[in-house]
């Protein structure tokens, strides 16, 4: 599990240099020169006693993927700079520039959440979200879904758009599938997160409207949510649109959309690009693969191709066996 900050971007690892003399691209040379210049300017600011210089230098290294160097800078100011403390919490938890130490990462997050200092106020929502993740997965602390819920509610702050929108979306997921299942609460939190721009919750809302989960069934609202989420890259929403088109007998549209979805099945990459849970990305691709296989098997909207159908059925099973099994059962019962 990776901790996150909604205020600090994820690190971008430096690309390896090209091999051999004279083969390094010009843009890499330019980037190296810019990095050196930034280091020079920050060194001058440090020498001049600028209190922000160490953090800015640490953040520069963090962004470059130079985690050991970043750790050194953040360690120097952790006693007085809560932003540096937060970054150290993430780095110790995830083993960036140091050995994995989730307990230490949790300790830093708790310090930020519990301090009364106004200098830490802007970090509290992110710290509460991360602590909730730690408790939910039992990493660095004893597992507790109830404590995760409590912390995510703090981080979500009644739907405040300046709070952790990720926590709002996560609460929607929590109330959809966990032992705390409450679909009305799930709908509320997905609505709040969607209103604050969260892509994953927009897709989830579409599905809830489509099947009347936590809210009265509303096909028009469902399609509006699903189509907009799909256009923004939500694979789960795209998979449900394929299912909708297939069930409405728009087979050529279903097959065409499904084909586009299944052309890229790098789940981790898709999840990272869209900031959606890999589990739901996989479900979306699996749904698309199954319905494409169905169209190919029966010649619905496309030319019949049994070999291709078998390939896509296998892909669906590989990506999400539960989804594939449920859809296969529905097909055998004549429901699709």
Averaged confidence pLDDT in the chain: 91
Classify residue 263 by burial, with Cβ atoms within 10 Å: 0-12, 13-18, 19+.
exposed
- Tell me, yes or no, whether 16 lies in a domain: no
Domain count, the chain: 2
Residue 319 Cα distances to 3, 112, 163, 253, 265, angstroms: 25, 39, 34, 22, 9
- Tell me, yes or no, whether 289 lies in a domain: yes
- Tell me, yes or no, whether 155 lies in a domain: no
pLDDT attached to residue 288: 98
* Single residue among 126, 143, 160 that ends a domain in this structure: 143
Q: pLDDT of 181-231, one tens digit each? A: 999 999 999 999 999 999 999 999 999 999 999 999 999 999 999 999 999
* Single residue among 143, 169, 201 that ends a domain in this structure: 143
Q: pLDDT of 57-102, one tens digit each? A: 999 999 999 999 999 999 999 999 999 999 999 999 999 999 999 9
SS (H, E, C) the chain: CCCCCCCCCCCCCCCCCCCCCCCCCHHHHHHHHHHHHHHHHHHHHHHCCCCCHHHHHHHHHHHCCCHHHHHHHHHHHCCCCHHHHHHHHHHHHHCCCCCCCHHHHHHHHHHHHHCCCHHHHHHHHHHHHHHHHHHHHCCCCCCCHHHHHHHHHHHHHHHCCCCCHHHHHHHHHHHHHCCCCCHHHHHHHHHHHHHCCCHHHHHHHHHHHHHCCCCCCCHHHHHHHHHHHHHCCCHHHHHHHHHHHHHCCCHHHHHHHHHHHHCCCCHHHHHHHHCCCHHHHHHHHHHHHHHHHHHHHHCCCCCCCHHHHHHHHHHHHHHCHHHHHHHHHHHHCCCC
Averaged pLDDT, 286-304: 98
pLDDT attached to residue 5: 43
Query: CA-CA distance, 264 to 266, in Å (whole number)?
Result: 6
Query: CA-CA distance, 308 to 49, in Å (whole number)?
Result: 66
- Tell me, yes or no, whether 201 lies in a domain: no
Dihedral sign, CA of 31, 37, 41, 43? positive
pLDDT attached to residue 10: 34
- Tell me, yes or no, whether 208 lies in a domain: no
CATH of the domain at 93: 1.25.40.10
Angle CA(105)–CA(110)–CA(113) in degrees, nearest 5? 130
The whole-model pTM stands at 0.84
- Tell me, yes or no, whether 287 lies in a domain: yes
Q: pLDDT of 255-278, one tens digit each? A: 999 999 999 889 999 999 999 999
* Single residue among 116, 143, 170 that ends a domain in this structure: 143
Helix axes 278-298, 321-332, angle to 10 degrees: 30
Structure tokens at 98: 């140091």
* Domain that includes residue 83, residue range: 41-143
- Tell me, yes or no, whether 159 lies in a domain: no
Confirm if 151 and 128 have CB atoms less than 8 A apart: yes
Confidence class for position 14, pLDDT limits 50, 70, 90: very low
Structure tokens at 273: 């690009």
- Tell me, yes or no, whether 95 lies in a domain: yes
Classify residue 46 by burial, with Cβ atoms within 10 Å: 0-12, 13-18, 19+.
middle
Name the percent of the chain lying above pLDDT 70: 91
């Amino acid at each position: 599990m990776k901790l996150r900050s909604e205020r600090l971007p994820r690190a971008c690892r430096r690309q390896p240099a090209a091999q051999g003399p004279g083969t390094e691209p010009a843009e890499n040379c330019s980037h190296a020169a810019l990095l050196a210049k930034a280091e020079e300017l920050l060194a001058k600011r440090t020498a001049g006693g600028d209190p922000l210089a160490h953090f800015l230098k640490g953040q520069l290294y963090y962004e470059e993927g130079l985690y050991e160097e970043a750790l050194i800078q953040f360690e120097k100011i952790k006693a007085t700079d809560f932003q540096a403390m937060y970054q150290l919490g993430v780095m110790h938890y995830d083993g960036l520039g140091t050995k994995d130490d989730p307990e230490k990462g949790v300790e830093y997050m708790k310090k930020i959440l519990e301090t009364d200092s106004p200098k830490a106020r802007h970090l509290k929502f992110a710290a509460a979200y991360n602590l909730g993740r730690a408790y939910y997965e039992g990493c660095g602390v004893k597992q507790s879904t109830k404590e995760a819920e409590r912390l995510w509610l703090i981080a979500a702050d009644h739907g405040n758009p300046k709070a952790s929108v990720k926590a709002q979306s996560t609460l929607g997921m929590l109330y959809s599938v966990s032992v705390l299942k409450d679909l009305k609460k799930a709908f509320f939190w997905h609505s709040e997160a969607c209103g604050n721009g969260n892509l994953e919750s927009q897709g989830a809302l579409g599905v809830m409207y489509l099947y009347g989960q936590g809210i009265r069934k509303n096909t028009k609202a469902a399609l509006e949510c699903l189509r907009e989420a799909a256009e923004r890259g939500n694979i789960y929403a795209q998979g449900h649109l394929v299912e909708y088109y297939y069930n409405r007998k728009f087979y050529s549209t279903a097959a065409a959309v499904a084909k586009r979805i299944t052309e890229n099945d790098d789940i981790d990459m898709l999840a990272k690009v869209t900031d959606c849970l890999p589990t739901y990305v996989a479900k979306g691709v699996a749904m698309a693969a199954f319905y494409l296989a169905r169209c190919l098997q029966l010649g619905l909207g496309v030319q019949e191709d049994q070999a291709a159908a078998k390939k896509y059925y296998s892909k669906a099973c590989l990506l999400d066996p539960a989804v594939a099994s449920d859809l296969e059962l529905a097909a055998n019962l004549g429901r699709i």
